[in-house]
Amino acid sequence: MKSEDYAQGDTFQAEKRTIFSSEWLPVCAEAQLARPGDFLSATVGGWSVVAARDKAGEVRVLRNACRHQNMPVVGVPAGNCESFRCRFHGWTYDLAGGFLGAPPPVAPPDPKANLSLQSLATARAAGLLFFSMGKPAAAPGLGALPTSLPAYGGTLSTDIACNWKVAVEHLLGERASSADFTWLWPLLALRRAGRLAIVEQLVPQTFLRTRLLTHVFGGAADEHQQAAGTIKHVCEALQLDRAGGRPAAEGTLVDDFHRRLAEAYAQDHPTT
Ligand code: FES
């Protein structure tokens, strides 16, 4: 990796095109959408999405882009509602993304057109909900994750001023020696510690801003606040190293991560 890969928006845009447009990306723990009407919005790898549980209990991930002028329909991180009302001009959608109506001054010219929010491919594994912007035939990579975990104990959210790859490299370097560690390209790490299962989900927001979601199963999330704070502190220091040209320490998992990145970058700039 070059220093600019950690510190420039161009590389992040290339990653959006080649990685975040086609891979299965975690969006949240399914238990974060416990009740009908619960929703959660996020920007993952440059894609704005909203996950919601409808009245029948079904969970979906929708593209958070209004069919009127492509603006984000949901502007708050989480909540519970009966329907979504776009804050810009008032188009409304049900929890499944279906178009409900619009104020007369901004009504669509063809009310019979399909004006639903785009529903994305979804999958579940390790207590988490995944989406894909592409059209995957299946979710084979997710099969490496356990199908059942202890009871959900909560999620911690930690904002880190670093490129997402710095956080991945740190987690891979720290945890590689653990026998109970599972890494799922590109954004998920799972580790077991006795009765606990801890799923660390990275949310690339911009090229210099990453959210770490620590989902705890089998225990209380609050007990992991200090560990999450340490990850933030270390990653923000490592970001300065990477931007300054100091490479990540080598290791099997880190090397494999860099190989996958190189393959993705080659798709964006093919040599033939
Ligand atoms: S952009 Fe949503 S109603 Fe206009």
Tell me the per-residue pLDDT of 193-228, one tens digit each, with 9 for 90 and over.
888 999 999 999 999 999 999 999 999 999 999 999
Specify the residue with its C-alpha closest to ligand 1, atom 4: 89
Average pLDDT score, the chain: 92
Tell me the per-residue pLDDT of 135-162, one tens digit each, with 9 for 90 and over.
766 666 777 788 788 999 999 999 999 9
Please check the confidence at residue 271 and state whether its pLDDT lies above 60. Answer: no
Specify the residue with its C-alpha closest to ligand 1, atom 1: 69
Contacts of residue 110, Cβ cutoff 8 Å, sequence gap at least 6? none
Ligand 1 center to residue 115 CA distance, Å?
Answer: 12
CB of 133 closer than 6 A to ligand 1? no
Tell me the per-residue pLDDT of 6-55, one tens digit each, with 9 for 90 and over.
999 999 999 999 999 989 999 999 999 999 999 999 999 999 999 999 99
Number of the ligand 1 atom closest to the C-alpha atom of 90: 3
Residue 192 φ then ψ, to 5°:
-110, 140
Handedness of CA 73, 77, 78, 79 (dihedral sign): negative
User: Is the peptide bond preceding residue 186 cis, with omega within 30 degrees of 0?
Assistant: yes
Please check the confidence at residue 179 and state whether its pLDDT lies above 80. Answer: no
Contacts of residue 188, Cβ cutoff 8 Å, sequence gap at least 6? 26, 126, 128, 145, 199, 200, 201, 202
Helix (H) or strand (E) holding 228: helix 225-243
At 249, the amino acid letter reads A
Ligand 1 center to residue 106 CA distance, Å?
Answer: 8
User: Which one of 50, 64, 66, 74 would you pick to mutate in the ligand 1 pocket, going by the greatest count of ligand atoms within 8 A of its CB?
Assistant: 66
Distance CA 42, CA 4 (A): 26
At 227, the amino acid letter reads A
Is pLDDT larger for residue 1 or for residue 157? 157
Ligand 1 center to residue 95 CA distance, Å?
Answer: 17
Least confident residue range of 25-39, 100-114, 171-185: 171-185
Specify the residue with its C-alpha closest to ligand 1, atom 3: 89
Distance CA 151, CA 126 (A): 11
Please check the confidence at residue 272 and state whether its pLDDT lies above 50. Answer: no
Distance CA 75, CA 260 (A): 33
CB of 209 closer than 6 A to ligand 1? no
CB of 85 closer than 6 A to ligand 1? no
Structure tokens at 180: 């109970």
CB of 185 closer than 6 A to ligand 1? no
Ligand 1 center to residue 271 CA distance, Å?
Answer: 41
pTM of the model: 0.93
Judge contact between 161 and 238, C-beta under 8 A.
no
Structure tokens at 20: 């975040």
